[in-house]
């Protein structure tokens, strides 16, 4: 919701960019801790039960959000979501996807996963923005705080209902396979972590995820950039952010299909290059109020960012990580790779509040460009390490 409705979210909750960033950071800190035990849990227990429970807990937290809690409570709520969406959900999701795709179609499976997630997110974003626009008065300049709050509360309830519905779909569609049905070679062992830690490609994969996720978190600034730099109203700004979300499904699916026919690291390197160039262009301040050029840059960089989200776990095949280590690798890589959940929100909030208007946004996109260049280097090193080491973990 903050990605689509950031200006409205800040206004309704009466918080600054930094306070919202601290809530994101609370999520990130808890998530970082939860990633490590989530891996062994995914290797031991049924994905159906883990994921359904996580989704229901997340929906329950959404009901708390409808009360429009103060900034302190908001941080605790995001911390709770860090636990509900990661400990029981994340590694189970990745393992189930990798198992479903198999060795031949692993890239396609991850592309379809992120493309499908993107399609649902884009549809939900479109519906929520349309609902918000319909509930707001025609004259947006004269809207009252009470009218904005009432409309936004209905948007929150929409997100809650969809999350609860997905919990039901997960329960009835994902096979329930208990740990007891797995052979000894598939069970998690404490030595697994030591095997994983000894592989340079695992640490490089974590760095790739860090750099790609910084770019993804940077999309949180799109709606506020459209509002403060391009001069859009809050509804048009939300639609602009929604545009980038519609790029996600085709970009992720296409990247997954190409990855099964081409080296994942090459494709990842090209994506980082695209993000670096696009972000540097925005950071230069040369776009000014040029909507058309901004839209072109937004589409290109969004496609690259979402393509990487469909690739950075499919890269495990190129690194020859066996299926039985998937949960452990995902837990370790995610604990490091999703560190931007901890620092990117406060950093963006600090930059935007310290330098209001265009300068703050330019600094945000300059940061994204720098991390993208680091991601290019990590992808190249990953490819080099793979060619130098033949045996898998």
Which CATH number belongs to the domain containing residue 49 in this structure? 1.20.1250.20
Does the pLDDT of residue 161 top 90, yes or no? Answer: yes
pLDDT given for residue 55 in this prediction = 96
pTM here is: 0.70
| Distance between CA atoms of residues 373 and 274, nearest Å | 10
Phi/psi class of residue 15: alpha, beta or left (left: φ > 0; alpha: ψ in -120 to 50)? beta
In this structure, is residue 349 part of a structural domain? Answer: yes
In this structure, is residue 183 part of a structural domain? Answer: no
**Residue 80's pLDDT band (cuts 50, 70, 90):** very high
The neighbour count for residue 229, using CB atoms within 10 Å, is: 20
Q: Which of 35-44, 258-267, 336-345 reaches the highest mean pLDDT?
A: 336-345
177-193 burial by CB neighbour count: b if 16+ within 10 A, else e? eeeeeeeeeeebeeebb
In this structure, is residue 356 part of a structural domain? Answer: yes
Cβ pair 321, 392 in contact under 8 A: yes
In this structure, is residue 181 part of a structural domain? Answer: no
SS3 (DSSP) at 89: coil
367-375 average pLDDT score: 95
In this structure, is residue 184 part of a structural domain? Answer: no
Does the pLDDT of residue 289 top 50, yes or no? Answer: yes
Cβ pair 31, 41 in contact under 8 A: no
Cβ pair 337, 130 in contact under 8 A: no
Cβ pair 242, 126 in contact under 8 A: yes
User: For 140-149, 189-198, 318-327, which range has the lowest pLDDT when averaged over its residues?
Assistant: 189-198
C-alpha closest to that of 362 among 373, 378, 351: 351
**Residue 195's pLDDT band (cuts 50, 70, 90):** low
Does the pLDDT of residue 390 top 50, yes or no? Answer: no
Does the pLDDT of residue 228 top 80, yes or no? Answer: yes
User: For 68-72, 191-195, 336-340, which range has the lowest pLDDT when averaged over its residues?
Assistant: 191-195
Domain count, the chain: 1
CA 220 to chain centre: 10
| Distance between CA atoms of residues 200 and 319, nearest Å | 10
| Distance between CA atoms of residues 84 and 65, nearest Å | 15
CA 21 to chain centre: 15
For 316, the domain range is 2-175+190-386
| Distance between CA atoms of residues 179 and 44, nearest Å | 5
Cβ pair 225, 360 in contact under 8 A: no
In this structure, is residue 304 part of a structural domain? Answer: yes
Which one is predicted more confidently, 246 or 372?
372
Burial level of 121, CB count in 10 A (0-12/13-18/19+)? middle
Complete DSSP assignment for 141-197:
GG--HHHHHHHHHHHHHHHHHHHHHHHHHHHHHS----GGGS-GGGS--THHHHHHH
In this structure, is residue 263 part of a structural domain? Answer: yes
User: Reduced to 3 DSSP states, what percent helix, strand and coil does the chain have, rounded to the nearest 5?
Assistant: 80, 0, 20
| Distance between CA atoms of residues 197 and 184, nearest Å | 21
In this structure, is residue 180 part of a structural domain? Answer: no
| Distance between CA atoms of residues 345 and 218, nearest Å | 9
The neighbour count for residue 197, using CB atoms within 10 Å, is: 11
Collect all residues with Cβ–Cβ distance below 8 Å to 393 and sequence separation of at least 6.
Answer: 195, 196, 199, 320, 321, 322, 325
């Amino acid at each position: 919701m903050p990605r689509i409705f950031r200006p409205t979210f800040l206004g309704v909750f009466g918080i600054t960019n930094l306070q919202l960033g601290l809530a994101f950071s609370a999520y990130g800190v808890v998530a970082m801790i939860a990633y490590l035990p989530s891996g062994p849990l995914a290797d031991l227990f049924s994905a159906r039960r883990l994921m359904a429970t996580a989704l229901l807990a997340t929906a329950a937290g959404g009901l708390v959000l409808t009360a429009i809690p103060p900034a302190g409570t908001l941080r605790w709520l995001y911390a709770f979501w860090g636990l509900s969406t990661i400990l029981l959900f994340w590694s189970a999701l990745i393992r189930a996807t990798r198992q479903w795709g198999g060795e031949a179609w692993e890239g396609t499976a991850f592309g379809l996963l992120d493309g499908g997630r993107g399609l649902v997110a884009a549809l939900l974003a479109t519906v929520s923005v349309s609902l918000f626009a319909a509930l707001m008065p025609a004259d947006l300049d004269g809207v009252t705080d009470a009218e904005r709050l009432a409309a936004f509360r209905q948007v929150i309830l929409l997100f809650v209902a969809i999350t609860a519905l997905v919990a039901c779909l997960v329960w009835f569609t994902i096979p329930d396979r208990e740990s007891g049905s797995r052979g000894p070679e598939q069970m998690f062992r404490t030595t697994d972590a030591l095997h994983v830690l000894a592989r340079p490609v695992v640490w490089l994969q974590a760095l790739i995820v860090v750099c790609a996720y910084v770019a993804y978190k940077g999309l949180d600034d799109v709606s506020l950039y459209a509002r403060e730099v391009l001069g859009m109203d809050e509804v048009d700004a939300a639609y602009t952010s929604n545009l980038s979300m519609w790029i996600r499904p085709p970009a992720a699916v296409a990247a997954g299909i190409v990855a099964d026919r081409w080296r994942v690291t090459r494709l990842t390197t090209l994506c980082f290059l695209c993000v670096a160039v696009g972000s540097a262009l925005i950071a230069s301040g040369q776009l000014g109020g040029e909507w058309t050029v901004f839209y072109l840059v937004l589409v290109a960089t969004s496609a690259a960012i979402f393509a990487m989200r469909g690739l950075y776990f499919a890269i495990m095949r190129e690194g020859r990580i066996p299926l039985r280590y998937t949960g452990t690798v995902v837990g370790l890589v995610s604990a490091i790779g999703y560190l931007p959940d901890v620092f990117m929100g406060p950093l963006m909030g600090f930059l935007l509040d310290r330098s209001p208007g265009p300068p703050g946004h330019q600094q945000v996109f300059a940061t994204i460009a720098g991390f993208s260049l680091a991601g290019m280097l990590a992808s190249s090193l990953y490819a080099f390490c793979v060619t130098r080491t033949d045996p898998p973990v």
